[in-house]
Amino acid sequence: MQTVLILHNILRWGVLIFGLWALIGAISGVASKRPYSASDNRSSLLFMIFCDIQLLFGLLLFFLNSWLDKIKTNGMGATMKNAYDRFFTVEHAAMMLIALVFVHIGRASAKRATTSAAKHKKTLIFFGIALLIIFISIPWPFRNEIARPLFRWFN
Ligand code: HEM
């Protein structure tokens, strides 16, 4: 599970980089009214793929790295009273799942849109909301009670 945790930590940077790349592309697309390009499609696809891999690793961590056992052993009430346990068992997982729904709806509706302007606009709105949720749900080192390191590496 340590390997999965390291990968989940590192891949967060992939999520943020490709998410920002797609978002900046959408902002420039809306502003300059340029056509939706293959590069726009690529950044959006990579953002979605990295999010989906994070979901897989996150589920593995949740079910196999003692978080579910914690709820079973201590009960939901006690888990919710502890800020650290509440964050990783409920808040982080739930918020990231909501963000992933926005990513998937955003990509699907941009694909369905018939004009470049509409494709950029859908990407901007849905990915913008998703990235905001992802950003505030990451256990950054400056978040006292739930702080996690910016990087982990294999020993
Ligand atoms: C874009 C999506 C996601 C991002 C960017 C993300 C990011 C992170 C980061 C940076 C950590 C701290 C890693 C460390 O301590 O080095 C973490 C921990 C964790 N994440 Fe996620 N996560 C995402 C989605 C999910 C999802 C969907 C779930 C569950 C369904 C999940 C479950 C967890 C759990 C259980 C931990 C604690 C791991 C442990 O210490 O055992 N994550 N996540």
In a domain? residue 152: no
Domain range for 121: 2-146
Q: Which atom of ligand 1 is nearest to the CA of 66?
A: 41
In a domain? residue 7: yes
Q: How far is the CA of 13 from the centre of ligand 1 (A)?
A: 12
Q: How far is the CA of 109 from the centre of ligand 1 (A)?
A: 27
- Give residues with Cβ within 8 angstroms of 110, minimum separation 6: 36, 44, 118, 119, 120, 122, 123, 126
In a domain? residue 55: yes
Q: Is 7 in the pocket of ligand 1 (CB under 6 A)?
A: no
Q: How far is the CA of 92 from the centre of ligand 1 (A)?
A: 7
Number of domains into which the chain is organized: 1
Q: How would you write the pLDDT of the chain (155 residues) with one tens digit per residue?
A: 999 999 999 999 999 999 999 999 999 999 999 999 999 999 999 999 999 999 999 999 999 998 999 999 999 999 999 999 999 999 999 999 999 999 999 999 999 999 999 999 999 999 999 999 999 999 999 999 999 999 999 87
In a domain? residue 153: no
